[in-house]
Amino acid sequence: MDEYIQSDILENEKELVTRAKKDEQAFTILYDFYFPKIYRYIFTRIGNHDTTEDLVSQIFLKVFTNLNSYSYQGYSFGAWVYKIATNTLIDYYRRESRKKEVCLNNIKDMPSGNPLPLVEMEIKEKRRKVNVILRQLPYKYQEILYLRFFADKSNKEIAAALKISINNVRVITHRALKQFKENYDKFH
């Protein structure tokens, strides 16, 4: 199992996906690799662990039940999974009819020893500021920035997930970052 996972890269992904269509153990490797990434991606958008767990379960159920219909068409299996995750989020937002705010109290700090209380407070304040500014951006800007920086997706993978051109991803990312910086500089 570990021979397929190299740090943040899934080796032989195409082979694994082909095997996963018939072999539950191969699907388990894909699931174990993508679960934490999808969980983090959904949680940064929703901010609630229970809702995130429900949505991630729905996402992987869709991945599992639609696995036989997946075929490599110029974008990775991971981009396909993120496309399903994005569509599931859109469906969730439609059902809820409004976006949920990210509750920073639910976000666990990465273990880094015990930072001084003042440093920890500054880190939390910067996170809050970033989240407030992100929520003020148009939805398409938020979506691009979350996929790029929280889900660590390439422009090609984002284009596949959102069904837009790679050039459009670059343009939207540039505009989103420009607006984010302007809002960040104005933030009190």
Which CATH number covers residue 27? 1.10.10.10
pTM for the structure as a whole: 0.57
| Domain boundaries, position 51 | 5-186
Instruction: Give helix 77-96 / helix 13-20 axis angle, nearest 10°.
Output: 70
Residue 41 corresponds to which tokens in the numbers above?
């991606």
Contact 85, 59 (CB under 8 A): yes
pLDDT of residue 7: 47
pLDDT of residue 110: 45
pLDDT of residue 127: 76
pLDDT of residue 36: 92
Contact 39, 116 (CB under 8 A): no
Query: How do the pLDDT tens digits run along the chain, 188 residues long?
Result: 445 544 456 778 888 888 888 888 888 888 889 999 999 999 888 888 888 988 998 998 899 888 888 888 877 898 899 999 999 988 888 887 654 455 555 555 444 455 556 666 776 777 778 888 888 899 899 888 888 877 778 888 888 888 899 889 888 988 888 888 888 778 76
Q: Which residues contact 102 (CB under 8 A, 6 or more apart)?
A: 44, 45, 46, 47, 131, 135
pLDDT of residue 99: 47
pLDDT of residue 82: 92
Please tell me the total count of domains within the chain.
1
pLDDT of residue 93: 83
Cα 118 to Cα 108, 109, 112, 121, 122, distances in angstroms: 17, 14, 15, 5, 6
pLDDT of residue 116: 59
